[in-house]
Structure formats: structure tokens, C-alpha cells
Amino acid sequence: MRQSHAMSDPQRPAFDPHPPRRNFYGRRHGKTLRPSQKGYLSEDLGDLRPRGISVQENPGRAPVDPARIFGDARPVWLEIGFGGGEHMVHMAARYPGIGIIGCEPFINGVAMLLGKIRTAGIGNVSVHPGDARDLMDVLPDASIERAFLMYPDPWPKARHHRRRFVTPEHLLPLARVMRPGGEFRVASDIPDYIRQTREEVPSAGFETVADTDQPWQDWISTRYEQKALREGRVPHYVTFRRTG
């Protein structure tokens, strides 16, 4: 299991083997899946799903070594809420030497991703069809090189802002599992989400590297971005670096 000097960093949140029970907000199922999508789930998901993430499989919340997921000590990236999977598949194909774990509780999105993985023929991906917090509970300290939050659910009502990913409940566990110097990318077309991102992420142990309306050099436009552009909203892209 990979170790890091960051494990003794008093500013780094400690690994919690018994995290509190938490609520989940959002949809797990959408419209009826097509027969092909049901096939992807039944035939492909089992081999791509990382073991030891769920409480049922790992009630003691023992750390899960990413090298066990990918079979070697390659750099590991994390995509939080991969939607339809366009970005995740693009990055996996562009960077075959890394491994990407994608988290998405919406089963329709998982089925879409699996279809894209099969079409692209990539093998450096792992798919957790659930809450990213469950994965972050068991990842070792400083085990993630890069993380992505691409067009997350905006939760636009003020009383729901605490459900956004860019809150301490999510960001502190993310900071724990990211290596010092690791990159965290956020894309959104919702101005208030970007405002909260700018405020909350640095407080969790990150520094801002870039804050712009121009995408990254290796970016692929997703269906969520294309929808935003059609409806006249301006996407924004913020890059952070894990300090420590």
C-alpha cells in the first residue's frame, strides 16, 4: 500500500474506518434501460467494479489499495459523477498509462459509460456505481493523482446548497486521498456553483491554479456542456492543486 509523508500532516483529515451514516440525494434510476444497456450492466459491470468499496463487502472499511484495482502501481485518477462517461472514456484513451476510477450512482449513466468503454476498447478504467464518498472512505491517504468534477448536479435552491459536492463533507475526504501536488479540476456552467467552488475548495487544502472560461488542452466537450452552450450559459473551468 502506498504511503506518503502527508499521512503525518496535521492539516490532512485522518482516515476514518467508521464514517457516519450519510444521506444520499439525487436519482439512482431514470427512464427504462434499453436491452443493450441492460446487457452492459449484466455482462461488463462485474469485471469493472472495484471490490471492497460497499459497506456490505467491507463493513470494517479497511483501506483498498488502488494497485489491487488496476494490477500495478500506475497513477490513479478519480472522476466524481461521470454522467454519460464521455470525459472519462476520453481521458482513459488519451492517457493509457494511468488508471481512472469513475463514481456515479445514476444507473442509466453507468450503462451509458459501459457502452462507451466497450466501443472504445479501453482497459484502464474501474467503475463504482455508487456514492463517491463510499470510495473515498476506503482509499489510502495520498493515493489519487488527479480528480475531476465535471458539470456536477447544481442543486440550485439555496436550501439544497449543502448537498453540493463542494462542501467540507465531500472536499475533506477528497483532500485526504489526493497526493500533495495533485490536481483537482472542476467544470460548471452555474455561476453560483463556481462561486461556492472558489470559496470552499481552498479551505479544504487546495490552492487555485487556474480560473477561466477556456477549457483544458485535453478537454472533450460533454453533452452537459453542449446543452449549456445551446441554452446560453457560459461554462467555467477551475483548476486546483492539493497543498501540503
Instruction: List, in order, residues 6 or more apart from 13 with CB less than 8 Å away.
Output: 172, 173, 175, 176
Maximum Cα interatomic distance, the chain, rounded to a whole number of Å: 51
CB 148 within 8 A of CB 240: no
- 54, 129 Cβ separation under 8 angstroms: no
Bridge partners of 147, per DSSP, are: 78, 184
Q: How far apart are CA 133 and CA 146, in angstroms?
A: 16
- Look at the block and give the residue holding cell 456490505: 56
Active site residues: 153
**70 closest CA partner among 102, 42, 41, 98:** 98
109 and 39 in contact (C-beta within 8 Å)? Answer: no
Q: How far apart are CA 198 and CA 91, in angstroms?
A: 25
